[in-house]
A and B are shown apart, each in its own frame.
Chain A
């Protein structure tokens, strides 16, 4: 199956700094990618839909100025957590749909963010 990568796999940062997480589709093009966050023992929460060449669509309650999404190419979407605080510590995951079956999503391995 297709592969989606994320970088970094984990990151520790100080409160107040910004952190960028990359999501790449390695062997296919993705005009749309999805970003999620997941707290321990909880389900994935959809944060936003990233659209290549246009603005992301954010879910209700997600601060678009805090979680900046850029989908600059058909294989790369980035999520920047701005002015991170300890409550932003979470597991961030991205996914991209299969080229032929939109409902089949390929997920990245996730990025563990810890804000001190």
Chain B
């Protein structure tokens, strides 16, 4: 089972691009990388998922290098409402969460 390592916290300002990196050195061949967002007192929300290279949706982009030992969630032009905890999960149906990254967006 791949373990993940993320920065505990990050600060940013409105309008900036935020990149959160997740390390997963022991990722297996069939593992996917999935990111979730959680606001206080709410269940997490799926953001994006990828296997390799780059994935983009209306909310974020996910960059995965060729060795897949890390991944970077990119949030373009963040706003105050993006203040949340972001979790990176690696595996196939493995729902063991790491500590996550607490992102604080300041005005």
Contact = CB atoms under 8 A, between A and B. Distances in A.
B96 A46 contact: yes
Please give me the 4 A-B residue pairs with the lowest Cβ-Cβ distance, nearest first. A107-B43, A44-B97, A103-B32, A43-B97
Given A103-B34, A104-B34, A110 B97 contact: no
Interface string A74-116: 0000000000000000010111010001111111111010000
Interface string B73-107: 00000000000010101011101111110000000
A93 B85 CA distance: 16
Interface of A: 1, 4, 6, 32, 34, 36, 43-46, 49, 59, 91, 93-95, 97, 101-110, 112
On chain B, which size bracket covers the interface? 20 to 34
B44 A91 contact: no
Given A46-B95, A103-B34, A103-B92, A93 B49 contact: no
Nearest to A112: B41
B41 A107 contact: no
A27 to B, nearest CB: 16
B43 A102 contact: no
B95 A106 contact: no
B29 interface: no
Given A49-B95, A95-B95, A109-B43, 11 more contacts: A34-B95, A43-B100, A44-B38, A46-B97, A59-B96, A91-B41, A102-B92, A105-B34, A107-B36, A110-B41, A110-B43
Nearest to B38: A44
A93 B100 contact: no
The residue among B34, B42, B44, B89 with the most chain A CB atoms within 10 A of its own CB is B44
B14 to A, nearest CB: 24
